[in-house]
Amino acid sequence: MTFNIELAGIPIQICCKYKINKDFFVEYLTDRQPELTVIPAEEDIQRTKRVLEQMAEREGKQYSWFSDSCYLENNTIHALISEKLVPYNTLLFHGSALCMDGEAVIFTAPSGTGKSTQARLWRELFGSRVQMINDDKPLIRTEDNKIIVYGSPWNGKHSLSSNISAPLKAILLVTRSGKNRLEPLSRADAFETMIRQGYISENPETRLKILSMERLISETVPFYRMYCNLEREAAQTAWAGIQTGQYLSNP
C-alpha cells in the first residue's frame, strides 16, 4: 500500500506491505505532494534485522520479535526516513522533547538514565503549560536560521508524542544526583552530546552533513548538564536555570 505522511514539514510517500504500519502513521498522514519516497526493499529489511540483532547481542539480550515482518518493516522505514531527511536539514535525535510555554526543551542521556522521568515531572509540575512533542526520537530541523523540534511517531515505550513543532530553547543532559543543579555545558561538550545522541549514517557524505548540523545546533542552542533527583524540585531548578541562563542549585 502507498500513502503520504508529513514529518518535520516534509511530505514523504511510503510504500509498505502491512496495514498496521500505515496505521502507525495515522497522525502524520497528508495529502501534500511528496518530496521523497521510501520503499523498503528486502535487502533493507535484512540489514535492519542484522543491526537489531547486533544491538541485542551487545546488550546481552534476545528479542523474539526481530523475526516479526511487520516490526522489521516499521524499523526499516524508520531507518530509511532518518537517512533521507538529512539532506533536508533534519536530524533524528535520541531524547525526550516537550513544549513548555511554546518552546521546546529536550532531555537527553544514555538509555535508562531518566529522560522520560524528568519529562513526566515537568508535566506534573507545570500542567497545561507542557505538551509532549516526543518521548524518544524527536526530529530537529534547521530552517531559515531557526532550529525547530518536531514530533515523530517513534515515541518510546510510553507512546507519548504529538504532531506539533516548537523552536528549540535548550537541551538538557540528564545526570542522576541527590542534589538538583543546572550547569552550562561547554560548546565542545555540547557538540559531543549531539554526536552521541544524534542519528548515525554509514554514508560518508551524509555523515559530514550530520556533523555540520550537529555543530550548528551545539553552537546555537544552550546546553546544560542537569543534575537531578526524582522530585518535582528538579523541574523547578532546571526551568529557572534555563530562564536565566545561569548556574543554579537546589538542595
Read off the pLDDT of residues 38-63 as tens digits, 9 standing for 90 and up.
999 999 999 988 888 887 777 776 66
* Beta carbons of 72 and 48 less than 8 angstroms apart: yes
Residues whose CB is less than 8 angstroms from the CB of residue 168 and which lie 6 or more positions away in sequence, other chains included: 103, 104, 106, 140, 147, 148, 149, 217, 221
Over the stretch 162-178, which tens digit does the pLDDT of each residue have? 999 999 999 999 999 98
Q: Candidates 3.90.228.20, 3.40.1050.10, 3.30.70.120, 3.40.50.300; correct CATH number of 91-250? A: 3.90.228.20
Q: What is the pLDDT of residue 249?
A: 47
* Beta carbons of 221 and 147 less than 8 angstroms apart: yes
pLDDT reading at 248 higher than 70: no
* Beta carbons of 182 and 237 less than 8 angstroms apart: yes
Mean pLDDT over the full length of the chain: 92
Give the SS3 label for residue 139: strand
- Domain edges within the chain: 2-88, 91-250
Question: CA geometry: angle at 102 spanning 140 and 148, to 5°?
Answer: 15
Rounded CA-CA distance 246/241 in Å is 6
Over the stretch 76-127, which tens digit does the pLDDT of each residue have? 999 999 999 999 999 999 999 999 999 999 999 988 788 899 999 999 999 9
Q: What percent of the chain has pLDDT over 70?
A: 94
Q: What is the pLDDT of residue 164?
A: 97
Q: At residue 39, what is the residue type? A: I
